[in-house]
Chain A
Amino acid sequence: MRTARRLAAGVGEHGFLLAVALVSLFPLYVMLVASFQRTTNLSGSGLLPTLDPTFENYTTVWTEFGFDRMFVNSTILSLSSAAIAVLLAAGAAYGFTRFRFAGRGVLLAALIGTMAVPPIVVIVPLFVMMSDLGLVNELSSAIVVQAGLNIPFATFLLVTYMRDLPNELFEAAEVDGASRWRQFVEIALPMSVPALVTTMVICAMYAWNELLIPLIFWQTEQLATLMVGLAVLAPGRSGAQDIPLLMAGVTISVLPLAVAFLIGRKALIRGLVEGGER
C-alpha cells in the first residue's frame, strides 16, 4: 500500500518534470524541424521532421538575405561593447574594492541601482543627443550605449570577485613602491582573469541578444544585426512560404550562444547567478 502510493507519487513527479521539459523543448524542436524543410514543402503540420531535409535554407538566408553581414554586425556590437564595458568596469571595481573614499557606498549603490532602469527610458534622450552629434548610424553610437548599459552589471560582478583578492599582495606591492596603476595592471587584472572572462561573455551575450539598441541607433540596412534582421523579416512577410527560411535564420542567431554555453557552462551559470544576486 505504502509502496504503491510512493510509486504513484514518483510517477507524478516524473510526469510533471517530463511535461515541463517537453514544453521547454517544443519551440526549439519546432524551430529546428522547420529550418530543414523545403520551402515548397511546408504543408500540414510542422510537428514531424521532414523525410527530405535540406540545408538550403541556411545557405539562402546566409547569402541572399544578408545574414552573413548581420552576423558580422552582431559580432562587432557584442564583442566591442563587452570589451569596453569589462575594461572600464574592471577599473571601477578595482577602485571600489581597494580604496576607501567619501561616498563610496552611495556611489556603488547608485551605480547598481541603475540596473533596474528600463533601457528604453534612457534611449529617448540618448537618441536626441546622438542625432545632434550626428552619430546615429555610426558604429560608435550603439556600441557606446550598449557598453554603458552593461557597466553597472559588469562592475557589480567584478566587485564581488575583487573584494576577495588577498590584500597582502597589494600591500607588498605598495611597499615595493608600485604605483596604483601598476598594481591594477600587474596584480588586480591578472588575478581576476576568470571573472573578467565570465563577465565579458555574459555582457557579450546580452549585447548579442539586444534588439532595441541596434534597432534605434543602427537604422541602415548595412548596420542591421541578426536580431534587427529577424524582427524586420518576421512580421512583414509572414506567409508560410518564408517560415523555413526564417527558422534557419533564428537557428543561426542562437548557435553562438549555444556554443558559448557548451564551452563554459559552469562558469557562466555561476556568473549569471552572482549577477542575479545584485
Chain B
Amino acid sequence: MLPALALAGFVLGFPIVKVLQYSLTDRTTFLDGSFVGLDNYSELFHDELFWRAVKNNLILLLSVPLSIALALAITGILYRGVRGSRIYELVIFLPFLPAIASIAVVFLYLLSDGGPLNDLLRGVGLDGLAHAWLREPETAIWSILGVVLWKRIGFTVLLFMARMASIDRTQFDAAAVDGASWARAYWQVAVPQMRGIIGLAAVLGFIEAFSWTFAYIAILTQGGPDRSTYTLEYLLYKLQFDQRLVGLAAAVAVLLLLSAVVVAAYRVFRAQREAFA
C-alpha cells in the first residue's frame, strides 16, 4: 500500500501544501517570487471578475436541486414500471457516457446561431425564442447550466434506481391499498428512505459544480462573451497559464479548496449524526 500512498501524496498531498505556500507569494512560472502575505487574496476580493466567477459557480450549483428534483420524478415513474421502462432508463443514462469535452463540442454546434436548436424553434414558429445561446451574455451561463443538467440527470437517475431496488415493494402495495395514490406512496414511503442517496447525489453535484466546469467553459464559451462566463476553475487556468501569475492562481486554488472542505465537513457531520442517532 505504500506505493499508492506515495503517489497519492505526491500528486494530491504535496501540491496542496505547495499551493497554500504559493498563494502567499508573488511567484510567476519562471520566478520564485517573494512573500507578499495576503496581498493575492485582497487583490482577488477587489476584482470584479473574481466575484463574477463565484456567481457563475453558484448558478451552476443550481444544477444540484434541479437534477435531483427531475431525477426523483423520473425514478418514481420508472420504478412503477410503465411500458418500455428499461429502454427509457437506458436512453436517459446515455448522456453520462461521452466526455464533457465531446459533448461540449456537440452543444457548441447545437446551440449556435444557425444550429439545430434554433432551426427547431424556428421550424415550429417560435422564432422569438431563437438565440445565439452561447454568444449573448444574458443566455450564455444559463445555457451552460442546461448542458450540465443534461449530462447530470442520467447518472442521478442511475443512483436513485439502484437505491430503489433495495426498497421493499410490499410497502407500496400496502400504501396503495390504503387508497393513497401511487405518487403519494412514492413520496411518503420511498423518498424518505432515499435521504442518504439524495445526499450523495447532492455531494457529487456540488463537487462537479466546483471541480468539473473547466471543459464546459473552455469549449463552449472560453469565458466569453465579454468574460461573462468565467468560473473559478477557468479563472485559475487563465491566471496560471495565460498570465503566468502563479501566486494569484494559487490563491484562487486555495479558495476552490474550500469547496472540498465543505464536502468533508458535511461528511463528518453526517457520520456523526448517524453515529449518535
Contact = CB atoms under 8 A, between A and B. Distances in A.
A96 B162 CA distance: 27
Interface in A204-253: 208-212, 216, 227, 230-231, 234-235, 238, 240, 243, 246-247, 249-250, 253
A20 interface: yes
Nearest to A131: B29
B210 interface: yes
Interface in A73-126: 84, 88-89, 91-96, 107, 111, 113-126
B260 to A, nearest CB: 4
A259 B76 CA distance: 29
**For chain B, which range describes its interface: under 10, 10 to 19, 20 to 34, or 35 or more residues?**
35 or more
A117 B114 CA distance: 39
Interface stretch (B34-42, B45-53, B250-258): B250-258
Q: Interface SS of chain B: helix, strand, loop or mixed?
A: helix
Contacts of B105: 230-231, 234, 246, 249-250
Interface stretch (B58-66, B136-144, B147-155, B168-176): B147-155
Contacts of A261: 97
Given A17-B82, A116-B207, A145-B11, A24 B95 contact: yes
Interface centre among B155, B214, B254 (most CB of A within 10 A): B214
A123 B103 CA distance: 24
A81 B108 CA distance: 30
Given A209-B101, A211-B218, A20 B7 contact: no
B109 interface: yes
B277 interface: no
B94 to A, nearest CB: 6
Contacts of B13: 114
Contact of B109 (A30, A210, A257): A30
B225 interface: no
Given A24-B94, A46-B119, A151-B4, A227 B99 contact: yes
A13 interface: yes
Contact of B98 (A115, A211, A253): A253
B101 A91 contact: no
A27 B147 CA distance: 10
B8 A152 contact: yes
10 closest pairs, A vs B, by CB? A148-B11, A95-B1, A209-B99, A125-B18, A92-B4, A118-B211, A122-B15, A88-B4, A45-B119, A92-B1
20 contacts: A10-B82, A20-B74, A20-B153, A24-B92, A26-B110, A28-B94, A45-B119, A46-B116, A92-B1, A93-B1, A118-B253, A123-B15, A127-B240, A128-B246, A230-B105, A231-B105, A234-B108, A243-B109, A273-B159, A277-B200
Interface of A: 10, 13-14, 16-17, 20-21, 23-28, 30-31, 34, 44-47, 84, 88-89, 91-96, 107, 111, 113-129, 131, 144-145, 147-149, 151-152, 155, 208-212, 216, 227, 230-231, 234-235, 238, 240, 243, 246-247, 249-250, 253-254, 257-258, 261, 269, 272-273, 276-277
Given A24-B150, A155-B4, 4 more contacts: A28-B95, A28-B106, A124-B250, A254-B99
